[in-house]
Structure 1
């Protein structure tokens, strides 16, 4: 795991433990300016896909990185990303789609072609404050087939400043033509001691860290949510 420099903020570095090979590969890609324009981030629910995407966004947009490929967690850009208000980092999911729908209150079970058109339009916008336009798509496995097909043009001709992350519990639900145009990242459940250590690093006392880690079944993202909202 990458060491976090002394004095760095609480969201500094890459705190996702247990998938070090994935984390180190992304950190090096940022440090070497070799980030791909599109990724499929897969793994069982609760394994930290959203946390990984947010950390990559911070690493790309950080104004004062404490080391190569490391976000500081405290600069204006890192704080904005943490609060979900950075103008160059946008998250799309079923909840957002329901919020902007012309049928408020209706249940949304799939990302529609209208949402994918908004995703493509957002990805094409030049960044306002940062070097990169980062677009994170949660619930990607729910994209309708026609919506996935609509996304292909963006994947085939990506803007030079775009980084698109498709987060999914089930990568096989994505069309082969979509998967083939993205770099695959797989997050796996992590050993219980690593979950416990991560929770302790987030401020949990020993008893709480042990209890939550035992219930997490290797789902480190679930464990941190359970710690924050018991």
Structure 2
């Protein structure tokens, strides 16, 4: 059974060295802020970093890493540390004023049960209503000395300027392909040739890398998508649409297909520009990539990449499925 990522402490974090350094320096120097915003896209590791930071602050060893062995750390790992509070919300797209009042504002005046701090971790913080944010503002402005509030936000700019100005903002950058590939191979035991494809596909997002590494269907989807691109000149548009429906299944699968299409045409563009194979994701398909590069212009490849991205945006906006794919495949055929 694999140990939880939190148990590895900061040493187990992949990438984000600047954020880890900031957190550890704050702990070491005794300059921990009362309010933080950790910004980064979904799956980038915000919650994991916040949890390890909270564990470090509460650890009985008082070091710059959670020891993982003391009573506080053991409780944190089991989800029962009473002074690390995860604020939850009922509605999927909104964090309301009542939830903030009940779980933070009304609770913060009670001193820690057994630790030095009370740490509140608010996931999906950008979904807080303006009323909820204003209710939280007074606590952030005048917190008890033991209170630390950590806001996790996919889009920190969605938070009110008055909130942002009173928090230390730490932004997560994409993890490099090299770090991602090493993580996939050493931690998740993915073979070398698959790790390279998965690392490119994950686009710097560790959560996405884990999802695809643990999906037995992922490489099959990649192979199907590549096969479609190789046959895009001979297949009719309606055949390609039907194939995506059949092979991709659920909506997430369709987005994965489109991301493979983007990687494919990025390879075509890279080969056309450099004639080099080493930097390609799909090295094994060099003959098909070379053939496509010879018939598509730079402008044509750019139009194709734009059409794929537009189709993704349309599907996210619930535009008609068949129409979105038809326009994309027409552009792929025409260019």
Same fold (TM over 0.5): yes
Write the deviation string for residues 45-84 of structure 1: whole angstroms up to 9, x where unpaired. Answer: 111101110110111111235xx41112233222222222
Which segment drifts farther, 113-122 or 165-174?
A: 113-122
Note the 1:1-230 alignment, pairs <5 A: 10-64=7-61, 68-93=63-88, 97-98=89-90, 107-118=91-102, 119-207=104-192, 209-210=195-196, 212-224=198-210, 227=213
Seen in structure 2, the aligned counterparts of structure 1 residues 206 and 108 have a Cα distance that, compared at 3 Å, is closer
CA–CA separation in structure 2 for the residues paired with 1:178 and 1:222: 29
Write the deviation string for residues 94-126 of structure 1: whole angstroms up to 9, x where unpaired. Answer: xxx22xxxxxxxx54200000110222233321
Tell me the number of residue pairs that the alignment of Structure 1 and Structure 2 aligns: 209
Aligned to 1:135, what secondary structure does the other structure show?
Answer: strand
Which one has the largest radius of gyration? Answer: 2
CA–CA separation in structure 2 for the residues paired with 1:64 and 1:89: 17
Seen in structure 2, the aligned counterparts of structure 1 residues 206 and 123 have a Cα distance that, compared at 3 Å, is farther
CA–CA separation in structure 1 for the residues paired with 2:47 and 2:151: 10
CA–CA separation in structure 1 for the residues paired with 2:155 and 2:21: 23
Verify the 8 A CA contact 2:36 2:170 in the aligned structure 1. yes
Aligned to 2:152, what secondary structure does the other structure show?
Answer: strand
CA–CA separation in structure 1 for the residues paired with 2:13 and 2:28: 18
5+ residue gaps, structure 2, are: 1-5, 217-335
CA–CA separation in structure 2 for the residues paired with 1:202 and 1:75: 25
Work out which structure has the larger RCO, using CA pairs closer than 8 Å and 6 or more positions apart in sequence: 1
TM-score (norm 2): 0.58
Aligned to 1:123, what secondary structure does the other structure show?
Answer: coil
Seen in structure 2, the aligned counterparts of structure 1 residues 110 and 53 have a Cα distance that, compared at 3 Å, is same
TM-score (norm 1): 0.82
Which segment drifts farther, 182-191 or 218-227?
A: 218-227
Seen in structure 2, the aligned counterparts of structure 1 residues 130 and 205 have a Cα distance that, compared at 3 Å, is same
Seen in structure 2, the aligned counterparts of structure 1 residues 140 and 159 have a Cα distance that, compared at 3 Å, is same
Which segment drifts farther, 46-55 or 191-200?
A: 191-200
